[in-house]
Chain A
Amino acid sequence: MSPIDRRDFLTTLGRCGAGICTLCAGGGFAVGQAAGTKRFRPEPGGRRVDFFESLPDGSIVCGVCPRHCVTDDGETGFCRSRTNVAGVYYPRGYGRPCILRVDPIEKIPLSHFRPGSKTMTVAVGGCNLRCLYCQNWQHSQTAPDKLKTFDLTPDQAVAAARDKGVDTIAFNYTDPVAFLEYAKDLAVAARKAEIRVVAATGAYIEPEPLLDFARYVDAITIGLKGFTQEFYDTVCSGRLDGVLAAIETIKTKTNCWLEIVNLIVPTYNHDPRTIHKMAGWLRRTVGVTTPLHFSRFVPMYRLTNLPRTPVETLESACRIARSVGLTYVYTSNIAPHDGNNTYCPKCGMALIERLGFKVLENRVRDGRCPACHIRLPGVWT
């Protein structure tokens, strides 16, 4: 067999490629249609989205988050989890969580809400943000119906939690804003069954749906991802003012226990002045006793080119927040570290000693410090 030169090889390769393309365009059409244009069909009488506005031309304006997606018939919103079907807006992942597991409450993160307890965590695929560092991007950046899911109605979820002996249900890993209808129905069912509900969210949500949901929620951890619009533009594809408004709404108009988490990404939101500004805003808006967690970034998803957040940066952020006056400042995603522990603001006693998500020692008695008996903010029983 005579050897062929590079030019001949590439020419042959090109011809083969063209042949395959032609075949696909003809005989393979059915396959392409099935994969690419599969329409979402809601179940008859299925759950609809609560907040949307139908336009005369059959399109819909979503009212859940400040993005206000406008979708035509058959189109899905930015969050990949709501679809316009003939002028009605339907959630795509209702009753189909992709994650179901039992976790420590510290994983939310919640440090002042029944420390050491377990939660049944539920998550449905999709998200209305596009954080470049998302730790659960396989689930959050995929449409709910493209994931392996469980069939689980809200009542079944509550029954499962009861069977498991867990008295808290959490929405974590993906943002409940993307599956708000399911999250709300589940929260309502849980409330009836006297099961508590907690949620971790980026809080990029309109006040009305937020209040509607928060009525049934006992604690919320809000990811205040940065404190500049530039950061939200570049890293999260969202708007800061929407998040700040949501935080304010939660604090002023609901009884939810609130904690804030800020993930520090080196070179993006590690600037001490911005952190100072953010801590000041939090002090004014949510008060000094609202816990603030500075979380460590680990290279993930689309930011694998960056290093982990240096410990010194996290410690410096904690110092800044404390200097501003915030009382309960934590470091998370780093252990063992002093910042994992809860200290009494009056006598300085280590009240809850943690190693990552594990509570090593909980000395809080009836919500008070055993040494100086000062009352600690939070939910302890």
Chain B
Amino acid sequence: MTLRGANRVVGVRWLVCLAAIGPGLPSPAADLPEALRDDAQGDHGRQTVDSLDLILSLGLNSAQARAILPLYAEACRLHQSHYRDKAEIQPQEIQAYAAFLAEDRLNRGFSPEVERSTARVHHRAKKARETFATNLNELAQGVWRILTPQQRRIAETYKPQKKAVFAAYASPKEKRNVARQAARRARRGPPAPRRDDPALAAARRELDTVRTAIHPRPDVIAKHLLTPAAAQWVYELAGVRAPRMLYEAVYCWRFGTRDYPLDRCRQDQKAIRALSKEINHWNLTNGMYFSPGQIEGLVQLAKQAEQLKAAQRQARPREKLHPDEFNARLVQLELAAESVLRPGQLEVMREYKPCLIPPKNLKNPVRVGQANDGSHLARWLQRARRTNNEHVDRMIDSLISSEIKRLGPMSESAIAERRKLLRDTARQAAGMSDVEFALNQDDLAGAITPINRKEELTAAIDQMHRIRTKPGRTHQFLLNRDFANVLMVRYQQLKSGAAE
């Protein structure tokens, strides 16, 4: 049975659409079937089109497709298993986050059970996501090896070109629309060249690399080729009959499972995102101890910012503000918001990193974002003092590997340098008396605190935005509708004494 015959098994409209394309891959000149075009408005269609675009861009041949098949089958299995994980974890996440949010809203601390269960389920979901991405990327490595050097270069720089793909596969009616839009653009003249700041772009690229290394995400091949969305194209190209397992994987990708349909999965994802976002807002609000007067001021400014953004969105192209002018207005609002804050609040704002569960630090009452202290390194040094050199070397290796996981990749030279620093400091600590060490442990821990490239880059980008008069962190965190809503609830709570 070929995939074209699979519509009876799977019984989905999507596969009917695929079947309509006919044997072999459509040539760029071919029209995209009407049904698939409709479906392409949804995520599945878009993913299918992206996969097709990648395959066409790479110019994969049949031999390569056949070589990819075992990896592809494994990838489909991974997708299915990841979906099963999500089916189990997501409902738990919603339950835990909702309970956490209820306590967060009141700002009276968290009950241990709620805090523990939220942390547990959050960690589990994160682990599942990252394991899935890591496994998929490992399979993708196999695919990268199959590609020719030229194909690799294409893949490395590949970005989904939805518009181009749709233009290429457009129906006659759509083609007319595309032509009309092109003519309109021609009349208006070429757009003003984008003033790309190379430093900013480089910082963003590096930040993206660091983030991906810390929290693995599927790479371009894993995302667009090793996905059930590419099933049709890969098997057709290989000229091989698709196995039964594939239908199940495609069905799972398209509709979910009987117990956990895709619609519910999406609703849950949406709910989790909304809950996490609201919890972030509440964490910040709780940590800032806004006064009612400050809340009034900030809500006003957030509303103004929202109005400005909505006006810019809805305005006709000619009436839109120039981006520089638009940014300048947002920066003005941001400065006004900063003037509402007290210096202590500004300091907290500057160091704030959104997180789900704010860390407990009873030695320092400021408890807003993620922990950023070197106390674990002081404890590490304490342990290193009590042990021999051989064990210290093992401790160093373990510390460096955990830092790479936590802070992103390090070059070989950086690792060697860090190892030397840690060894020297551990020796220095071992050479100290107990009293000396007690008095110097914080300084020593400070000296071996690793460089957090992610934080550095974030701060640098924020600074560059300021120089270029673009809105920064204050705008990002405080001047939006969701945060304004949270502030209004807090205002009511403060008035009624329901929270602090």
Among residues 101 to 152 in chain B, which have CB atoms less than 8 Å away from a CB atom of chain A?
Answer: 108-109
Q: Judge whether A152 and B435 touch: CB under 8 Å.
A: yes
Q: Judge whether A336 and B435 touch: CB under 8 Å.
A: no
Q: How far is the CA of A361 from the CA of B109 in the complex (A)?
A: 30
Among residues 451 to 469 in chain B, which have CB atoms less than 8 Å away from a CB atom of chain A?
Answer: none
| CB of B381, distance to nearest CB on chain A (Å) | 14
Q: Judge whether B436 and A160 touch: CB under 8 Å.
A: yes
Q: Judge whether A356 and B365 touch: CB under 8 Å.
A: yes
On chain B, the residues within 8 Å of A340 by CB distance are 344
Residue in A closest to B500 when the chains form the complex, CB atoms: A311
Q: How far is the CA of A10 from the CA of B120 in the complex (A)?
A: 36
On chain B, the residues within 8 Å of A353 by CB distance are 342-344
Q: How far is the CA of A298 from the CA of B345 in the complex (A)?
A: 21
User: Out of B288, B343, B362, B442, which one reaches A135, CB within 8 Å?
Assistant: B362
On chain A, the residues within 8 Å of B109 by CB distance are 298-299, 307-308
On chain B, the residues within 8 Å of A355 by CB distance are 343-344, 347-348, 366
Residue in B closest to A333 when the chains form the complex, CB atoms: B365
Residue in A closest to B442 when the chains form the complex, CB atoms: A102
Among residues 305 to 338 in chain A, which have CB atoms less than 8 Å away from a CB atom of chain B?
Answer: 307-308, 310-312, 333-338
Classify chain B: how many residues form its interface, as a range.
Answer: 20 to 34
Q: Judge whether B365 and A335 touch: CB under 8 Å.
A: yes
B497 in the interface (beta carbon within 8 A): yes
Residue in B closest to A156 when the chains form the complex, CB atoms: B435
Q: Judge whether A150 and B440 touch: CB under 8 Å.
A: no
B289 in the interface (beta carbon within 8 A): yes
User: Out of A164, A312, A335, which one reaches B439, CB within 8 Å?
Assistant: A164
Q: How far is the CA of A380 from the CA of B342 in the complex (A)?
A: 24
| CB of A351, distance to nearest CB on chain B (Å) | 12
Report if A334-B439 is in contact (Cβ < 8 Å); known contacts: A356-B364, A356-B366: no
Name A's interface SS.
mixed
Q: How far is the CA of A201 from the CA of B12 in the complex (A)?
A: 76
User: Out of B288, B436, B441, which one reaches A336, CB within 8 Å?
Assistant: B288
Q: Judge whether A336 and B366 touch: CB under 8 Å.
A: yes
Report if A150-B434 is in contact (Cβ < 8 Å); known contacts: A335-B366, A356-B366: yes
On chain A, the residues within 8 Å of B343 by CB distance are 336, 350, 353, 355, 360-361
Q: How far is the CA of A354 from the CA of B291 in the complex (A)?
A: 17
On chain B, the residues within 8 Å of A361 by CB distance are 343
Among residues 407 to 440 in chain B, which have CB atoms less than 8 Å away from a CB atom of chain A?
Answer: 434-436, 438-440
| CB of A278, distance to nearest CB on chain B (Å) | 22
Sampled A-B contacts (22; CB under 8 Å): A100-B439, A101-B438, A101-B441, A101-B442, A151-B434, A160-B436, A298-B362, A312-B494, A312-B500, A335-B289, A335-B366, A336-B288, A336-B289, A336-B344, A336-B345, A336-B347, A336-B348, A336-B366, A338-B291, A341-B344, A357-B364, A360-B344
Chain A residues near B (Cβ < 8 Å) = 100-102, 120, 135, 150-152, 156, 160, 163-164, 296, 298-299, 307-308, 310-312, 333-338, 340-341, 350, 353-358, 360-361
Known pairs A135-B362, A164-B440 / 6 extra A-B pairs, C-beta < 8 Å? A100-B435, A335-B366, A341-B344, A356-B365, A360-B343, A360-B347
